[in-house]
Amino acid sequence: MISCRKIAKGKASGELLVSNEPISFLGGVDPETGEIIDINHELKGQIIKDKILFIPGGKGSTVGSYVIFQMKKNNTAPKAIICLKAEPIIATGAIMSNIPMVDSPDNTENLVNGQKVEVNSDEGIIKLL
């Protein structure tokens, strides 16, 4: 188990999609499809729908929170979000959208692309599955 800090309540499990780069949801992700469309992002073309998204944090406009909310309404949002360090844009979007979110994992060694995990933000833990 990996200890972490609760940002937005809830529990979800799924496959990790890992980025070493922050994501801007406004202009960087298509809310209709969940595809990362930022041409300069390492995950360009990847779909975050139904994934557990692990990113260092967010960047860009505060409107990004509403893009996350729109993605939730469109069923294109990630199942959960793990950040190294949460910031207000992503945190607000996760809270508004009821997407479980945690940050500050105490060990990231096994948090790799394709790994199945369960994020339980209520208990502040990530389990490898």
Query: Active-site residue 61, yes or no?
Result: yes
What does the DSSP 8-state code read for residue 119? E
Active-site residue, from 13, 19, 24, 61: 61
What does DSSP say about strands 29-30 and 11-18: parallel, antiparallel, or unpaired? unpaired
Query: In 3D, which of 18, 24, 14 has the Cα closest to residue 43?
Result: 18
Q: Is 19 exposed, middle or buried (0-12, 13-18, 19+ CB in 10 A)?
A: middle
Residue 40 CA to residue 28 CA, distance in Å, equals 9
3-state helix, strand, coil in the chain (%, to 5): 20, 30, 50
Catalytically active residues are: 61
